[in-house]
Structure 1
Amino acid sequence: MTAIEDLTALDLAALVASRVCHDIISPVGAITNGLEVLDEEGNEDMQEFAMDLIRKSARQASAKLQFARLAFGAAGSAGSEIDLGDAHAVAVGFLANEKAEIDWQVPRLLMAKNRVKLLLNLILLANQCVPRGGLITVRMEGEVNAPTFELVVTGSTTKVPALVIDMMSGVEPERIDAHTVQPVYAVLLARESGMHLDVVKEEAGVKIIASSSL
């Protein structure tokens, strides 16, 4: 739609909203399908199948929304802090419905909200690096006001999306849409937080680092 330089606050909000809606359409649609089966089927086995589908999809939709609220939402007024324990909880809930697992090695601290949002967005990037499943190890070094985040991604197949490689190299996308806005949003969060991003493809996997420039 537009380059980063021309991306207005309204454009960014609209694209992020589209991304969140895209993520929850599938589980909400599955809930609808399950309800339709309950309405139409008299078979007891099919009704139990429908209830299982509704329960699973409702949990998935809830986990995605809770994650999006912290990763993309305001989560309080400007300058507020977020509990890293809450970030851990929503990350675990989100990845429970994905192929990757998470090893969270970050202490429970209060941290500036944009840095916590950045960390959650880096987890989204890490998840894209293991399309067939794997492990995302999340670590933090340094002080709470000048942290360094390190995400080590391992799996049978690891890759870095082309858009992410370009952006980490300083090549900004010519067009931004709902499918590409998430890595763009992560870069904007890093800039706002005074942090530098690096994504490195290694033989054993992928390493994502966000380091403070303070």
Structure 2
Amino acid sequence: MTMTPVDFASLLCSRLCHDLLSPVGALNNGLELLADEHDPEMRARCLELLAESARASANKLKFFRLAFGAAGGFGETVDTREARAAIEGLFGENHRLTLGWMIEDSVLPKPAIKVLLNLALIAGDALIRGGQLDIGAEVVGGQIEIVVRGDGPRIVLDQELRDALTGAQGDAPVTPRAAAAFLVHALVEQGGGVVQVSPPDAPVLLFGAAFRAG
């Protein structure tokens, strides 16, 4: 499916607003409760909830800035430590996922970082009851090879996301929830590669991509 830059920007904005609505809404609710609460213990609890919501909002913004935006400055590469910190910030706060980091390169091309982060986002969301998220990447013969593995008690990856990742959606419209998958496919295809996804009945979730990036 072809999509204009304006349409894709609208798609990303819808996705970002959806994901930020919960923590920002919690901030608003917490402030309202705090205004009406006079018990010291309850006020302290309200402040704790406000701090948690503020951290969640900040972590999501940092992740989305790197995954979707122009973070990393004007250079062609991004420090892989920034990518790791963004993933840990997004998923580490609630201790739902354990992250396995298997990347030795200190920097990777920006397109590779975006593919890596968005695949991690999709895999992390698919592990709806938590589990292990392993991420690996290396440069081999001028190509970037990325592997993301998710393992947990329950793995759910909608067909819409599978189709968007592999480009199999045809003329079907892309919804905001598939924005990250569509971006991964576009970047990998631009680099002359393909995205591979494990079958629905596989015991673990595997994403693989090999493409030119930079």
Q: SS in structure 1 opposite 2:176?
A: coil
- 1:42 counterpart SS class: coil
Which runs of structure 1 show a deviation greater than 6 angstroms over 4 or more consecutive aligned residues? none
Q: Secondary structure at 2:135's aligned position in 1?
A: strand
> Residue 86 of structure 2 aligns with which residue?
90
The residue type equivalent to 2:108 in the other structure is M
TM-score normalised by L of structure 1: 0.89
Could you list the runs of 5+ residues in structure 1 that have no partner in the other structure? none
Distance 2:90 2:170 in 1: 28
Matched, 1:75 2:71: yes
Separation in 2, partners of 1:162, 1:11: 22
Could you tell me how far apart the structure 1 residues matched to 2:78 and 2:168 are? Answer: 29
Distance verdict in 2 for CA 1:182–1:111, change over 3 Å: same
Q: Measure how far apart 1:93 and its partner are.
A: 0.5
Map 1:51-200 → 2, pairs under 5 A = 51-75=47-71, 80-97=76-93, 99-143=96-140, 145-167=142-164, 168=166, 170-172=168-170, 174-200=172-198
Deviations 1:8-63 (A, max 9, x none): 10111111012112111111111111111111111112101110100101010000
Is the 2:144–2:212 contact (alpha carbons within 8 Å) kept by the matching residues of 1? no
- Residue 178 of structure 1 aligns with an amino acid whose one-letter code is P
- Residue identity over aligned pairs, in percent, reads 29
Give the CA RMSD over aligned residues.
2.1
**Aligned residues of 2:134 and 2:149 also touching (Cα < 8 A):** yes
- Contact 2:196/2:207 (<8 A) preserved: yes
CA contact (8 A) 1:37 1:46 kept: no
Gaps of 5+ in 2: none
For 2:9, give the aligned amino acid: A
Q: Return the offset for 1:162.
A: 0.8
How many residue pairs get aligned? The number is 210
**CA distance 1:77–1:63, shift in 2 (3 Å):** closer
Matching residue of 1:11: 7
DSSP 3-state at the match of 1:180: helix
Contact 2:132 2:150 in 1 (8 A): yes
Contact 1:198 1:210 in 2 (8 A): yes
**TM-score, scaled relative to structure 2:** 0.89
Instruction: Decide whether the 8 Å contact of 1:163 with 1:173 is kept in 2.
Output: no
State the distance in 2 between where 1:189 and 1:19 align: 18
Structure 2 residue matching 1:179: 3-state secondary structure: helix
